[in-house]
Amino acid sequence: MKEYILVKDYVKNKPVALVRSEYGVATVIAGDKSAEKVFIDGDAHNINRNYGFTLLGHSSCHPDIGNYIDLLGPVLDKEEKWKRAVQRTAKAKAAKELSEDDLARIAEMLNNGVSQRKIAEAMGVSQSFVQRKNRQPRKVELPVQ
């Protein structure tokens, strides 16, 4: 029988992974792939007491399962996490190195209706950086009479 189990980290107080246990085999379907290590023969065994387990249900139709899949994202192993961390660092560095002209260009593109995602790709920064710039009050130049 299938069981959908949420693995929570007690230290960080947040969900880590969503695991499907079926016929003695535990498979991570969302979140951190290393959560498979705390399952022995499909059963949760918390040796170091850092993790907690919540049975969400026996059917994939349970609404919380979809919510946790969206929250946790795709299954990631250490290499994928490292690649994403390197990408985030590169985008943060690029954002710090933007000149005033680049920031003005971002503001102009936002005013012209260009999507935040496309601006972020063009400028080599994160979409959240562009979103923060979009929320900042813009200087409006009034025509001189």
Is 143 within a domain?
A: no
Residues 95 and 72 in one domain: no
Convert the pLDDT of each residue in 64-92 to its tens digit.
888 888 888 788 777 777 888 888 899 99
The pLDDT value recorded for residue 57 is 77
Q: How far apart are CA 77 and CA 112, in angstroms?
A: 40
C-alpha pair distances (Å), 116 with each of 23, 129, 137? 45, 9, 16
Residues 47 and 103 in one domain: no
Residues 44 and 93 in one domain: no
Is 145 within a domain?
A: no
Is 141 within a domain?
A: no
The residue range of the domain holding 90 is: 80-135
> Which of 29, 52, 76 delimits the end of a domain?
76
Residue 4, token pair as written in the block = 């959908």
Is 30 within a domain?
A: yes
Count of structural domains, the chain: 2
**Of 48 and 128, the one with more pLDDT:** 128
Q: How far apart are CA 38 and CA 10, in angstroms?
A: 14
Inform me whether the pLDDT recorded for 137 exceeds 80.
no
Convert the pLDDT of each residue in 9-56 to its tens digit.
888 888 888 888 888 888 888 888 877 777 776 667 666 677 778 788
Answering whether pTM is above 0.75, one says: no
| Close Cβ partners of 29 (under 8 Å, ≥ 6 residues apart) | 18, 19, 20, 69, 75
Inform me whether the pLDDT recorded for 117 exceeds 80.
yes
- β-partners of residue 7 are 17, 53
Is 142 within a domain?
A: no
Residues 47 and 108 in one domain: no
59-63 mean pLDDT: 76
